[in-house]
Amino acid sequence: MLAIVAFAMTADAQETRLMPFEMPDQFENLHSEREFAGRVVVFLGSGRKGSKFNESWGRALAGELAGAVRDGDLQIVGFAHLRGVPSFLSGSVRKRFPQKPEEWALLDWKGFFARTYGRTKGAANLYAFDRSGRLIHRLGVREVDRKQLDDVVATLHKALATGDETEP
C-alpha cells in the first residue's frame, strides 16, 4: 500500500492533452508545445529531490527506443520543476544545468507540468504524449524498474506504430 501512495500523482491534475506552454531552457531559448506537434514526446523531469532519477530513466528510455529517437519520431525532453525557487537565484540555477546546447532542458519556473498533469514529489515524473498530443502515460518513478520501463516502452511503441493519425 505504501508503494502505491509513494508513486501516486497529485489528484487535482485532470488534463489529458498537451496543453499550450512557453518555457525557457537553461540558455534562455523559449520552447513551446508547437515544436513537438506530430511527434511522440516524453517529458521527463523533477524537482531537486527527484533529480537523481532523471538521468537513469532518460538513458533507459533512450536505449530501449534508440531507433525512434535517432529517426526523430520520438523526442525525450528533460525538464526541471523550479516553482518556488526565488527569482534572484535563477542565474545560478541555470548554470547548474549542462552547458552543451544539445543537452537543453525546460526550466519549469511556474510549475506547469505539476499543476497540469500532477507530480510525484521526490521522483522523476514522466509524461508521454502521442502524435496528436494525447497524454498516453503518466508516472512518478524512482529507480529504474524493469516492469515500469517495459510498460512505458510498450505504450510508446504502440504510439509510434500509429503513424501520424489524430483523434477524431
What angle is formed at CA 48 by the lines to CA 107 and CA 7, rounded to 5 degrees?
105
Contact 9, 119 (CB under 8 A): yes
pLDDT value at residue 55: 95
SS3 131: coil
Tell me how far apart the terminal alpha carbons of the chain are, to the nearest angstrom.
38
Give every residue of the chain whose pLDDT is below 70, as ranges: 1-14, 163-168
Residue 9 has a pLDDT of 46
What is the arrangement of strands in the sheet containing 124-129, beginning at the earlier edge strand? 106-108, 74-81, 40-46, 124-129, 135-141
What is the per-residue pLDDT across 30-46, written as a single tens digit (0 to 9) for each?
999 999 999 999 999 99
How far apart (Å, rounded) are the C-alpha atoms in residues 109 and 131? 26
Please indicate, yes or no, whether the overall pTM of this predicted structure exceeds 0.85. yes
pLDDT per residue over 135-153, tens digit each? 999 999 999 999 999 999 9
CA nearest to 61, candidates 155, 162, 164: 155
Question: Nearest CA to 159 among 135, 124, 125?
Answer: 135
pLDDT score at 163? 66
Residue 15 is predicted with a pLDDT of: 83
Q: Which residues on adjacent β-strands are paired with residue 135? A: 129
